[in-house]
Amino acid sequence: MPTCQNCGEFVTEAYVRVFTPEAVADSGPRVCPYCEDKLRDGADIREARSSRS
């Protein structure tokens, strides 16, 4: 089961295929929709500016 590298939450294979760069696909996505402190910004990851809760 793939998990997020940031928060450890389960993510689907489809999420990994779409949102994870091929170079790091084996280790899972760097951030996912469940992460409260980080978010995707294009191909980069950045700190969240406000609470995502």
What tens digit of pLDDT does each residue of 3-53 get? 999 999 999 999 988 888 777 767 788 888 888 888 777 778 888 877 665
CA-CA distance, 49 to 41, in Å (whole number)? Answer: 12
pLDDT, residue 53, reads 58
Number of domains in the chain: 1
Q: What pLDDT is stored for residue 52 in this prediction? A: 61
Cα 44 from Cα 53, distance rounded (Å):
21
- Print the domain residue range for 6: 1-53
pLDDT recorded at residue 14: 92
